Structure 1
Amino acid sequence: MSVAKLLGAVSIFATMASAAVPALAQDAAAVDASAAAPQESAGGIADIIVTATRRDTDLQTTPIAVSVVDSSLIEQSSPRNIGDLSVFVPNFSAATITGFNAASFSIRGVGQNTIIVYFEPPVAVLVDDFVVPSVQTQLLDTFDVAQVEVLRGPQGTLFGKNTTGGAVTVRTQRPELGKLGVKGQIVAGRYGTYEARGAVNVPIGDTLAFRGVIGMQKSDGYYRNGACYGPVVAFAPSKFAGRQGCGDGRALGGTDVWNARVKLLWEPTSGIDALLQYEHLRDRSDSIPTVNETPNSPAFLFDTLNVGAATGAGSDPLDNAGITNRQDNLIKMGNGQRINVDGVYLNVNIDVGPGTFTSVSGWRKQKSRLPNTYTGQAPVAADGEVLSLFDANRSDDRRTWQQEVRFASDLGGSFDFVTGAFHQNDRTSFCVSQLLGFLDLASGGLPFGPWNQNPYILCNAQKARSTAVFLEGTLKITPTLTLTGGGRYTWERKTWFGRQQVFQQQLNGGFDPTLRVNNTIDANVFDFPAGVIQVKARANEPTWRASLGWQATDDVFAYATYSRGFKGGGFNDQIGGFHPFVNADGSDDNAAFAAAASATAPEKADSYEVGVKTSALNNRLRFNLTGFYVDYSNLQKQIVVPITVGGQQNQVTRFFNAASANVKGIEMEATLIPVDNFTLRGVLGYQKGKYNEYVTPIPAGYDLSSAPLDRLPKWQWTIDASYEVPMGSHKLLFNGNVNYTARNLFTQSITSPDENTYLNARTLVNASITLAEAEDKYYVRAVGRNLTDERYRTASQVVGGLWSNSQYGLPRYYGLELGVSFGGIR
């Protein structure tokens, strides 16, 4: 797409917008530069300030496709986490990763569907400018959040780390000088839900302020342990042959999370501020349940063994989850998941007159232990032993250090710029211990015992660093026309350490029947170095952005943007599974292992975007429209490759740069205040994509170019309404919304398109009623989610040739919230 076409599209969009609001049209040459920011009128829509350009700008004059959810909308919609806010953003899809309470965010056709720890997501999440590296902890609590901005499309300059899809930037509430105040919230709801959150703001003299935030979430879970199985078929002698039954029906999937943030703000002068934060998270929730949905097909081994989905087609999937709850052999599932996060962050701003220097420093440690029954089935023998068809405990320890420095100029003329440097150092150690009991049924036990009692361990690690410099400048060509351009250059260096999968008795090389590792799976590659190899990867990538903005009238702003983004290559934490790389004499073939373990090449995105941002009806109507076209190359795709284990077909996950694709679409956002105290919001996203090329190297020549793109719902829309009724010293607020997301592919089977798994289309209805004191000193709120009790998948996967399983979203929920706020803190 040429620059001329972009400019032509801008002109068309601007003409359409001007035609829609003819009363606002005026001679653009007469528009004063100060008119760029819309002025709030009585009863009108308040101005929204965003930081999408690393400086404070008005949303309506920022030449980027950015959506904003502020604290008032967060409070009214009462989300469980930032994923629930996706309904207010066009073409932003939020799901989870199968088997985990981890974020699977997708924007404009790219997202992450896998928990692989070395694959950094193409939709970055930043909290107070710190990049959260792990999808496992990106579903953040929204209490005490000031604003969430979602930048759609590749951010090639200012947010350049792996943002081929976009960026979600979260701003938490800052301490406030001179204010002593508290606020709190208590929630009780269905499924044994209890939540409590609180914040306190304490001034310390004239220049210091402290803010402490703490939260607790507990629930029983909405799944039931009711999965049925059998009579089990076994091709080898097994105590489980012929067994059949169902789970005990108890609740599964309960939550138990504590989180806190401690903040200290120092403002010695009007031009200097420093914010020091400590983050604390302890997640002790149940292991995430899944529902076995293996088709009745001989193509699936689990159906042949009669341990696939054995429930009726009309039954409630939430009643058919299954879990083994194994405590032995390193699984520790009865303890649930264990996630610990500790982080220290320092943000400093220094105003030097011609501009502001900003420093963002952060150190974050994450430790995760994530046991799961991936199959959603748990056959039991006559003696009470549980069969782990495929149980695993994923363990990772991660330490991330980040430093960014930047300078945002304020020269007072026609040109300003932002420049800086970024560095991130990340070290991750990973192990997974697996019990593959299905192989006892399919091919018989091992020479030293059954698969069901012998952990099969895969461990690897990565040391990675990313460094970048960036510069972006904005030139005001005329009072109404601005040109923005800039670039970023990134250097990435990664070293991967790995060994092929071994039984725990083989960790020291050879076979030691007495060898045992402790219950936290600390069989890392550094303490047990036998068979460990090293693989290095590097990438030097330039990215850029150019944007033209035109203030056509006081209330119509049009822009055109071209940007290039990239997502760094990644290693696969599953490579080496089932020990497939061996020589003819049975020794390790480390050369073949290293070749297979090599990182993917960087993924790139070229995005073309045009849009208009308009205001009308004395600022009671705001309407923003965006059209985009994104060309993706070297897409990093997940492919399930069949292999043979013990004479039976199995599979291993491989990643390749196997595809190129394009996605195009439109995005609309509207806010209308037809009368005082009544607000209507509308969001519409349409996107359509196709592969230009998708031919797999393994199996060689397998063409998937006619397949749909995953995580690309064609349509998404939301209608939200809020109405406030003044009642003297109190007020009554009604809020409700309906949101729709179309069916979209989640995982792709290489065997047959009929085995692909999809997130089904769903329409969700949510509502709340709030009785509050007029100045919000206290409130009581009744909340209802998914009021039509729809069943919809939030994650789904096919494990090629073996089984298929899914996770489901929250069913009908109702709850009561009580809140207080004293001292006027936000």
Structure 2
Amino acid sequence: MSRRYRVAGLGLCASAFAMLATMPAAIAQQAPASSTEVAQAAPAQAIGLDEIVVTANRRQSNLQETPVAVSAFTPAMFDAAPPKDLGDIAAYVPNFSAARVTGFNAASFAMRGVGQVDIIVYSEAPVGVMLDDFVMPSVQSQLLDTFDVERVEVLRGPQGTLFGKNTTGGVVTVYTKKPSLTDQAGEVQFTAGSFGTRAAKASVNLPLVEDKLGVRLVAAYNKSDGYYKNGACYGPVPGSNARGCGDGSKLGGEDIFNGRAKVLWKPVENVEALFQVERVRDNSDSVPVVNTTPSDNRWAFYNLGFSQDAGDPLDHAGITNRDDSLLNMSDGHQVDVDGYYSTLNWDADKVTLTSVTGWRKQYSQLPSTYTGEVGPISLFDANRTDLRKTFQQEFRMASNWDGPVQMVAGGFYQKNDVNFCVAQILGFLDLFGVTLPFGTFNNNPQVLCNQERQKAYAAYGDVTWEVNDKLTLIGGARWTKEKKAWAGRNQVFVQALSGTFDPNFTWNKLGKLLNAGDFNKYPTGVVRDSESWSEPTWRASASYKVTDDLMAYATYSRGFRSGAYNDQTGTTGVAIPAQAARPTNPELADSYEAGIKTDFLDNRARLNATAFYVNYKDMQRGLVATLTNSFGEQVQETRFFNAGEATVKGLELEGSILPTDGLEIRGVLGYLDAKYDRFEADTNFDGKIDIDFSNRPLNRAPKWQWSLDATYTMDLADKGEILFNGAIQFEDENGYVYSDVSPEFDSKLVKKTLLNAAITWHDADGRYTVQAVGRNLTDKRYNTATNVVGSLWTFSTYGPPRYYGLTVGAKF
């Protein structure tokens, strides 16, 4: 099909459904008056929506015949308006919201009422991400580049049978392009845009032995100067009357290289082996934050002369840029990834056997100024550093035998070892008047270290029974066992790591920050704990083909989110109590959903609708506990609890239409009715409930979310074609972190409406491309993350302002 008839399968929002209702009558009135007109009209009758193939049931099937709430994307769907990263596709999936973890380039994905809002390294995200069937173990690396991606599938709702580790919200599966064994080809792209953005991307495919051996090399480099300014102002500070502002320099620039090398070997017709090496080197700036502390004397930082600056928040970020005291801010947010993967497929008689093996090492060093202030001291600077090593093995069998019953069965194993340390400069305690016998808090870092060793085992099976031409039944189950062992030490000054205070042993002598996590060398105060869980999960589904173009289905499924330890345990310097060293229990989700999928108007329109009801139990939530440290000061520590139970009801609509030659309209609509049934905890372990947020709204659960976009293709004959694309995206206000000062101070993501556009030219052979892109054309300010730190301060990060970019590309 011509590119102008490709469809993103995304859908119509409510404002476009009226057009669908009027189309049949309009088409019926357009009867041709002559045989010539009939002949001329015939090609238009062939216009239709492409069939979209998905693997949501671990076997290939037509999206419209798959009884799963899934949205699918291919490179052709990104042609008119390519996403910057994986988070950009959320606007085109109902009830899928993509934000950032406050102060980090980490994904805060949310789906159907559950989402990730913290950077805790041991926390299992409720929305999982898989890259070529490998489970991404860290939200810090989930915002994947979509260049050279073959397809993306977003499965909504609990995933407790077929995909990787369990999730309660959903899973995003990303598949990169495999080497071709026959075609020698390549592609290059160069981009320049606002904020000093420049990017170069390239791929090359080389068949080394025809039909037997091929290699594909992919590389991408992204660089920018950032869209924040170091312009935060402070003062007057009580006691010193100090005041000042940042130097106005640019902050938040990107500096990211990622590459893949793939080798595909097909020794015989029915055996295929794919080997892949992955490299990521992210040396981007530390993520800037903006101090958004209210001007209210209930906030400690306001009383000290540090609160939100008036005017454009992007002009008032703040960072201290300290390199001493283990902070290393000039290194930026450094993330290094080395991955090695293999996928083996054997199409045996009547079954396909698959083995997926992967090993991935990720080193992260993430220094930040969490207050968004520049001085006169480091109020709260910290460097979070972790080393994660992950091994995964999965074996899977998919049947292809004769008869109405087919099945998928397999086993899954993952081993994940994490070492974590954070160095913190708590200069605000100097302003509180807390004194030390050996200097100031501003010049003496404190370190907190812990580690976790985890293993997950699972066995699963899923059966599909085509009862007759109309009715299909699906049943699946999974048994999972997870073991986790944790060890940690409460936060101490570097001089006290050995157990006795040595004033000569400073941060200079410690060396690398992770050295403080050597519990054999520094065993004093180390607390250990371990736990294991066994959970069955399942799904049952029935679908009925009402007509050739209309399918209805209903599904019940259970998923769980693994129990988790807390990497913040002991941050106050208080000796770790036994209760604080314990993990949360698994979070459970029971989901009921019903939907329809239909094509109509001679395959020129598509509408998919889903209604669902989910009950969440033992929801894992972070809450702030107020404690007294060894200096007699009240301090706060974030602790995690199974604090909540919630009920979420919702509606999801996706649709597409080709109203006329060359025009595509598509959109989505998501609605959530989400509330807590219970949300309470005993944060200080005294046997009494001291926090009850049962009347608060669920965080990361926008009530409404919709998008509408249209692409018109102008055919230039031998000059190629031009695609005009416009898109409008809306997401309602949604909560982020709860305040224990007052509900009015709960941090929230503001509702936003973004307008984007793109113009793309392709030559007649499809070899050359020039594309101009505009994002956030109304230059709206909106926060992408926001955090409340007890009664001390609040800080936020913001989305990019108006952006213009130009990309030129060539295929050969």
What is the match of residue 223 of structure 1?
A: 228
1:433 maps to which of 423, 431, 437: 423
1:522 maps to which of 515, 525, 529: 515
Give the 3-state SS of the residue equivalent to 1:277 in structure 2.
strand
Contact 1:161-1:566 within 8 A present in 2 as well: no
Q: What code does the residue aligned with 2:213 have?
A: L
Q: How far 1:519 sits from its partner (Å)?
A: 4.2
1:162 maps to which of 160, 166, 173: 166
1:663 maps to which of 648, 669, 676: 648
Q: What code does the residue aligned with 1:476 have?
A: E
Contact 1:243-1:379 within 8 A present in 2 as well: no
Contact 1:442-1:648 within 8 A present in 2 as well: no
Q: How far 1:270 sits from its partner (Å)?
A: 2.8
Q: How far 1:159 sits from its partner (Å)?
A: 1.7
Alignment of 1:211-250 (within 5 A): 211-234=216-239, 241-250=240-249
1:321 maps to which of 307, 317, 324: 317
Q: How far 1:269 sits from its partner (Å)?
A: 2.7
Contact 2:527-2:581 within 8 A present in 1 as well: no
Alignment of 1:347-386 (within 5 A): 347-380=343-376
Q: How many Å separate the matches in 2 of 1:19 and 1:761?
A: 30
Q: How far 1:520 sits from its partner (Å)?
A: 4.0
Q: How many Å separate the matches in 2 of 1:760 and 1:78?
A: 25
Q: How many Å separate the matches in 2 of 1:595 and 1:794?
A: 33
Q: How many Å separate the matches in 1 of 2:442 and 2:166?
A: 40
2:342 maps to which of 341, 346, 356: 346
Q: How far 1:41 sits from its partner (Å)?
A: 7.5
Q: What code does the residue aligned with 1:609 have?
A: E
1:153 maps to which of 150, 154, 157: 157
Q: How far 1:716 sits from its partner (Å)?
A: 0.4
Q: How many Å separate the matches in 1 of 2:135 and 2:70?
A: 18
Q: How many Å separate the matches in 2 of 1:464 and 1:416?
A: 34
Contact 1:433-1:455 within 8 A present in 2 as well: yes
Contact 1:658-1:697 within 8 A present in 2 as well: no
Superimposed CA distance per residue, residues 74-117 of structure 1 (whole angstroms, 9 cap, x where no aligned partner): 23222111001111100000000001000000000111100000
What is the match of residue 132 of structure 1?
A: 136
Q: How many Å separate the matches in 1 of 2:46 and 2:115?
A: 41
Give the 3-state SS of the residue equivalent to 2:495 in structure 1.
helix
What is the match of residue 584 of structure 1?
A: none
What is the match of residue 79 of structure 1?
A: 83
Q: In structure 2, do the counterparts of structure 1 residues 453 and 725 end up closer, same or farther at CA, with 3 Å as the change threshold?
A: same
Superimposed CA distance per residue, residues 528-561 of structure 1 (whole angstroms, 9 cap, x where no aligned partner): 3322221001100000000001111000011000
Is residue 445 from structure 1 mapped to residue 438 from structure 2 by the alignment?
no
What is the match of residue 560 of structure 1?
A: 554
Superimposed CA distance per residue, residues 479-527 of structure 1 (whole angstroms, 9 cap, x where no aligned partner): 1101000100000000001111111111111111122311444311434
Q: How many Å separate the matches in 1 of 2:487 and 2:231?
A: 41
Q: How many Å separate the matches in 1 of 2:547 and 2:463?
A: 24
Q: Which sections of structure 2, spanning at least 5 residues, go unmatched?
A: 1-19, 26-43
With structure 2 as the length reference, what TM-score do the two structures score?
A: 0.93
Q: What code does the residue aligned with 1:316 have?
A: D
Q: What code does the residue aligned with 2:615 have?
A: D
Q: How many Å separate the matches in 1 of 2:205 and 2:382?
A: 43
2:671 maps to which of 673, 680, 686: 686
Contact 2:572-2:635 within 8 A present in 1 as well: no
Give the 3-state SS of the residue equivalent to 2:430 in structure 1.
helix
Superimposed CA distance per residue, residues 172-194 of structure 1 (whole angstroms, 9 cap, x where no aligned partner): 11111111111011000010000
Superimposed CA distance per residue, residues 146-199 of structure 1 (whole angstroms, 9 cap, x where no aligned partner): 111100000111026231000000011111111111101100001000000000
Contact 1:624-1:669 within 8 A present in 2 as well: yes
What is the match of residue 280 of structure 2?
A: 281
1:704 maps to which of 674, 684, 693: 693
What is the match of residue 267 of structure 1?
A: 266
Is residue 579 from structure 1 mapped to residue 579 from structure 2 by the alignment?
no
Q: What code does the residue aligned with 1:275 have?
A: L
What is the match of residue 456 of structure 2?
A: 466
What is the match of residue 14 of structure 1?
A: none
Q: How far 1:21 sits from its partner (Å)?
A: 10
1:717 maps to which of 691, 694, 706: 706
Q: Which sections of structure 1, spanning at least 5 residues, go unmatched?
A: 1-17, 24-39, 235-240, 381-386, 582-591
2:722 maps to which of 696, 709, 732: 732
Q: How many Å separate the matches in 2 of 1:145 and 1:103?
A: 19
Contact 2:386-2:514 within 8 A present in 1 as well: no
Percent pairwise identity: 51
Give the 3-state SS of the residue equivalent to 1:378 in structure 2.
coil
Q: What code does the residue aligned with 2:107 have?
A: A
Q: How many Å separate the matches in 1 of 2:298 and 2:268?
A: 70
Contact 2:24-2:601 within 8 A present in 1 as well: no
Q: How many Å separate the matches in 1 of 2:145 and 2:253?
A: 16
Q: How many Å separate the matches in 2 of 1:520 and 1:658?
A: 33
2:783 maps to which of 790, 793, 798: 793
Q: What code does the residue aligned with 1:276 have?
A: F
Superimposed CA distance per residue, residues 291-335 of structure 1 (whole angstroms, 9 cap, x where no aligned partner): 0010111221101111222x22xx100000000000101001122
Contact 1:123-1:162 within 8 A present in 2 as well: no
Which has the larger displacement, 506-515 or 409-418?
506-515
Give the 3-state SS of the residue equivalent to 1:200 in structure 2.
strand
Q: In structure 2, do the counterparts of structure 1 residues 243 and 19 end up closer, same or farther at CA, with 3 Å as the change threshold?
A: closer
1:654 maps to which of 639, 663, 666: 639
What is the match of residue 604 of structure 1?
A: 588
What is the match of residue 298 of structure 1?
A: 297
Alignment of 1:528-567 (within 5 A): 528-567=522-561
Backbone CA RMSD of aligned residues: 1.6
Q: What code does the residue aligned with 2:552 have?
A: A
Give the 3-state SS of the residue equivalent to 1:284 in structure 2.
strand
Superimposed CA distance per residue, residues 600-634 of structure 1 (whole angstroms, 9 cap, x where no aligned partner): 00000000000000001111101000000000000
Contact 1:69-1:148 within 8 A present in 2 as well: yes
Q: How far 1:20 sits from its partner (Å)?
A: 10
Q: What code does the residue aligned with 2:673 have?
A: K
Q: How many Å separate the matches in 2 of 1:193 and 1:813?
A: 10
Contact 1:534-1:594 within 8 A present in 2 as well: no
Q: How far 1:22 sits from its partner (Å)?
A: 9.5
Q: How far 1:644 sits from its partner (Å)?
A: 3.1
Q: What code does the residue aligned with 2:55 have?
A: T
Number of residues of Structure 1 aligned to a counterpart in Structure 2? 765
Q: How far 1:713 sits from its partner (Å)?
A: 0.3
Give the 3-state SS of the residue equivalent to 2:580 in structure 1.
helix
Q: How many Å separate the matches in 2 of 1:20 and 1:572?
A: 56
Give the 3-state SS of the residue equivalent to 1:258 in structure 2.
strand
1:481 maps to which of 467, 471, 483: 471
Contact 1:109-1:663 within 8 A present in 2 as well: yes
Alignment of 1:161-180 (within 5 A): 161-180=165-184
What is the match of residue 7 of structure 1?
A: none
Q: How many Å separate the matches in 2 of 1:496 and 1:150?
A: 32
Superimposed CA distance per residue, residues 354-390 of structure 1 (whole angstroms, 9 cap, x where no aligned partner): 110011100000000000000000113xxxxxx1100
Contact 1:443-1:648 within 8 A present in 2 as well: no
Q: How many Å separate the matches in 2 of 1:192 and 1:682?
A: 32
Q: How far 1:807 sits from its partner (Å)?
A: 0.3
Q: How many Å separate the matches in 2 of 1:535 and 1:492?
A: 14
Q: How many Å separate the matches in 2 of 1:739 and 1:92?
A: 12
What is the match of residue 35 of structure 1?
A: none
Contact 2:160-2:166 within 8 A present in 1 as well: no
What is the match of residue 3 of structure 1?
A: none
